[in-house]
Chain A
Amino acid sequence: MAEPTALLDVRDLKIGATVYAPGEPPEDITIVHGVSFTLEKGRVLGLIGESGAGKSTIGLASMAYGRGGVRITGGEVYLNGRDILKVGPRGLRRLRSNEVAYVAQSAAASFNPALKLMDQVVEAVLAHGKSGRRAVEARARELFAKLKLPNPDTFGDRYPHQVSGGQLQRAMTAMALACKPDLIVFDEPTTALDVTTQIGVLAAIKDAIRDEGVAALYITHDLAVVAQVSDEIMVLRHGRMVEHGDTRQIIEAPREDYTRALVSVREIEHEAKQPGDAPVLAARKIGAAYSGSLKVLHDVSVEVYPGQTIAVVGESGSGKSTLARVITGLLPPSEGRIEFAGRTLSPALSGRSKDDLRELQMVYQMADVAMNPRQTVAQIIGRPLEFYFGLKGAEKRQRIAELLDEIEMGKGFADRYPAELSGGQKQRVCIARALAAKPKLIICDEVTSALDPLIADGILKLLLDLQKVEGVAYLFITHDLATVKAIADSIAVMHQGKVVRYGPKDQVLSPPFDAYTEMLLASVPEMHLGWLEQAIERTRMKPAGH
Chain B
Amino acid sequence: MRGAVAKLIAQRVGLGLLLLFAVSLLIFVGTQILPGDVAQSILGQTATPQALANLREKLGLNEPAYMRYLSWLGGVVTGDLGTSLTSGQNIAATIGPRLKNTLFLAGVAAIIAVPLAILLGLLAVRFRGRWPDKLISGATLASISLPEFFIGYLLIYFVAVKLGWFTSVSTVYDGMGFGARLNAVALPAATLTLVVLAHMMRMTRAAILNVMQSAYIETAELKGLSQFRVILRHAFPNAIAPIVNVVMLNLAYLVVGVVVVEVIFVYPGMGQFLVDHVAKRDVPVVQAAGLIFAAVFIGLNIVADVVSILANPRLRHPR
Contact = CB atoms under 8 A, between A and B. Distances in A.
A110 B219 contact: yes
A423 B222 CA distance: 29
Contact of A114 (B218, B222, B229, B238): B238
Interface in A110-128: 110-115, 123-124, 127-128
Contacts of B222: 63, 65, 96-97, 101-102
A124 B223 CA distance: 6
Contacts of A92: 224
Nearest to A125: B223
Given A113-B314, A114-B237, A161-B313, A127 B216 contact: no
A104 interface: yes
Main DSSP-derived SS at the B contact region: helix
Nearest to A109: B215
Contacts of A106: 215
Given A102-B219, A115-B237, A159-B313, A109 B225 contact: no
Contact of B216 (A94, A113, A159): A113
B220 interface: yes
B317 A113 contact: no
B45 interface: no
B58 interface: no
A65 B225 contact: no
B218 to A, nearest CB: 7
A450 B301 CA distance: 44
Contacts of A203: none
A101 B229 CA distance: 18
A501 B220 CA distance: 45
B224 A114 contact: no
A112 B220 contact: yes
B216 A97 contact: no
B226 interface: yes
Contact of A65 (B220, B221, B237): B221
Nearest to A65: B222
A112 B216 contact: yes
A104 B215 contact: yes
A193 to B, nearest CB: 16
Contact of B224 (A67, A96, A104, A113): A96
A93 B229 CA distance: 12
A98 interface: yes
A98 B224 contact: yes
Interface string B306-319: 00000101100101
Interface residues of A, number: 29
A128 B237 CA distance: 22
A110 B224 contact: no
Contacts of B220: 112
B41 interface: no
A111 B313 contact: no
A515 to B, nearest CB: 27
Contact of B317 (A93, A102, A109, A159): A159
B71 interface: no
A162 B238 contact: no
A93 B226 contact: yes
Contacts of B234: 112, 115
A158 B216 CA distance: 17
Contacts of B221: 65
Interface string B185-209: 0000000000000000000000000
B18 to A, nearest CB: 26
Nearest to B226: A93
A158 B319 CA distance: 9
Most buried by A among B214, B220, B222, B313: B222
A242 interface: no
A97 B223 contact: yes
Interface string B220-247: 1111111001000110011000000000
B216 A110 contact: yes
Given A104-B215, A104-B219, A94 B224 contact: yes
Interface in A61-80: 63, 65, 67
A95 interface: yes
A97 B225 CA distance: 9
Interface string A130-148: 0000000000000000000
Interface of B: 214-216, 218-226, 229, 233-234, 237-238, 311, 313-314, 317, 319
- Top 6 A-B pairs, shortest CB-CB distance: A96-B224, A109-B215, A114-B237, A124-B223, A93-B224, A112-B216
Given A112-B220, A114-B311, 6 more contacts: A95-B224, A102-B219, A109-B215, A111-B219, A112-B219, A124-B224
